[in-house]
Structure 1
Amino acid sequence: MPSRKAISVQAQVQLSSSKSFELREALLVYSGGSAHHVSGPNTFVTKHSVRSSESGAPSLGPGAPIGIEDILELIKELRGVVPVEFLPDNVLVRTQESIVWWTPSAIRPMFYAVEKGVELKQLSGKQFPQPPLVFRAQVGSLDVRALEINERPTPKANLFRAPYWNVNDQGSVCLGSTKVPREASVESIAKWEKAFFQSEFTHSNSAKKLTEHPGGFMGLWKSLVGKKTFPVQHLASAGQTLGQFIQS
């Protein structure tokens, strides 16, 4: 067990809160030996209470090995708790920070910044068939990729570039002034999709081609006005699987 030691702590923490904070506990991480010669864990962590001395400097109390309950409580304190939610079939992954879901092909209106040209004015507000899509939402950000097959994808499913303006090469959506939900939850999925499709597509945000259509981006969407099915043969590969997208 480590001995009690006087410690001097100097830190600067910026918190968007008027709450006051007091140093109460400390975690010490111990490592030793060589990872090549030790069969068991090579690191352990102890938790210590923190006391104030007569001089005002904090000191550590006796340590105890940290347990699973301590880790879970620390995560809860730092990051909050994922709410208990029923996960519908369209949800692929739910984590502390994000939610990933897919949406089947559908007919949706699309809106463009009409001041960008006559062609866009002719397209804006029209109904278009959409490819099946994969979305990932986090607080303040949204990513989107396209699917070739109109069914719930597996981690090995190949992803394609979402053929939309405002989406960069990594699939991240430039949200601009778009009003998006404040959370990434099952309940917010429909709101994220609505925010994406009902906002204006204003500019190309990618260095690579968005589609394999011979007429390019404009040729693709001009050909789809009033159509019922999206031609997935014109999707451009994203060069990643769903599993890689989830881990990225």
Structure 2
Amino acid sequence: MKDLTQSFGTLYHPQKALVLFEAGIGHNRQYYIEAYDMNEQGQACNAHPLSVTEANALVKALQTAEKEKSGLLALSGLMPSNVLYLKTDRNPFAVWYTPARTMRLFFKEDLGIPSGECAMPALIWKAGKKEMAIYACADATELTPDTPLLHAPFFNVYSDGRVCMGNTQVDISKDCPLEKFMEIWQDAFYNSYFSHLLKGHLPVNGNIVQLWKSLSGTGRPFPNEVLIPHKAALKHLFK
């Protein structure tokens, strides 16, 4: 049989159970907290009044959890105008867009595409702490939840939009603010080398090598007519 334990998430073991007792009514209510230790079988045992030491340990654990939850993607100022969706609780992520613009791209030598300044279509980004996905859109100035997504016209992108970062290391700290978070992911994407198509996914109509050859260093605008519709709409990224 195959050992799948390494594929599981963090395993938490029960350590203590608390029961809150209440007596009286209205302003005369009184409370008593009873603590139970948990044995190796996960059964409650050793009932006793909650001690000051145990209460302080609980408060510290809750404060630490809250700090870790709210640190990543926290705002250092006003919400950036290009942010479309932000989730800051469990498994935080952000969705944002960048307008059509010119960026420098790097291509592996064996593609025969010179690295250089290239026109980009409007792009929609979704990133969490460990992975990123990217999509194109026809017009970033009139986005709604029902705006249809288009495949991002790049090498190294899966058909579902996820980006293969290869050996590029993306270091997102647990307290990384939103603006820095977006900058790190965009820098990692644009500073990596585009090298190959993934699992037969052709993200544009026509020859993708010829497309980027025609754009790199030429100053030509990106031809949006080569973009291919994706099966999802923008609202599907908010999950």
TM-score (norm 1): 0.67
Deviation of the 1:164 alpha carbon: 0.6
Residues 146 and 162, structure 1, Cα contact 8 Å, conserved in 2? yes
- Give the match for residue 141 of structure 1: 131
- Give the match for residue 175 of structure 1: 165
Deviation of the 1:51 alpha carbon: 1.5
**Kindly tell me: are residues 136 and 79 of structure 1, through their superposed partners in 2, closer, same or farther at Cα, counting changes over 3 Å?**
farther
> What is the alpha-carbon distance in structure 2 between the residues aligned to residue 180 and residue 80 of structure 1?
19
Secondary structure class of the residue paired with 2:150: strand
Answering whether residue 45 of structure 2 is matched by residue 59 of structure 1, we say yes
Q: 2:105 aligns with which of 100, 104, 110?
A: 110
- Give the match for residue 162 of structure 1: 152
Number of residue pairs matched by the alignment: 193
Aligned pairs for 1:77-226 within 5 A? 77=65, 80-83=68-71, 84-85=74-75, 86-96=78-88, 97-114=92-109, 116-117=110-111, 119-120=112-113, 123=114, 125-151=115-141, 153-183=143-173, 185-213=178-206, 216-225=207-216, 226=218
Normalized per residue, which structure has more helix?
A: 2
TM-score (norm 2): 0.69
- Give the match for residue 41 of structure 1: none
> What is the alpha-carbon distance in structure 2 between the residues aligned to residue 171 and residue 195 of structure 1?
16
> What is the alpha-carbon distance in structure 2 between the residues aligned to residue 15 and residue 210 of structure 1?
36
The structure, 1 or 2, with the larger RCO (C-alpha pairs under 8 Å, 6+ apart) is 2
> What is the alpha-carbon distance in structure 2 between the residues aligned to residue 157 and residue 212 of structure 1?
20
Secondary structure class of the residue paired with 1:238: strand
**Kindly tell me: are residues 221 and 14 of structure 1, through their superposed partners in 2, closer, same or farther at Cα, counting changes over 3 Å?**
closer
Q: 1:237 aligns with which of 217, 229, 232?
A: 229
> What is the alpha-carbon distance in structure 2 between the residues aligned to residue 74 and residue 60 of structure 1?
23
**Kindly tell me: are residues 139 and 52 of structure 1, through their superposed partners in 2, closer, same or farther at Cα, counting changes over 3 Å?**
closer
Q: Note the residue ranges of structure 2 that are not aligned, 5 or more in a row.
A: 1-7, 20-32, 48-60
Secondary structure class of the residue paired with 1:218: helix
Deviation of the 1:26 alpha carbon: 6.3
Secondary structure class of the residue paired with 1:188: helix
Q: Note the residue ranges of structure 1 that are not aligned, 5 or more in a row.
A: 1-12, 28-47, 62-72
Kindly provide the amino acid, as one letter, of the partner of residue 238 in structure 1.
H
**Kindly tell me: are residues 142 and 15 of structure 1, through their superposed partners in 2, closer, same or farther at Cα, counting changes over 3 Å?**
closer
> What is the alpha-carbon distance in structure 2 between the residues aligned to residue 152 and residue 228 of structure 1?
24
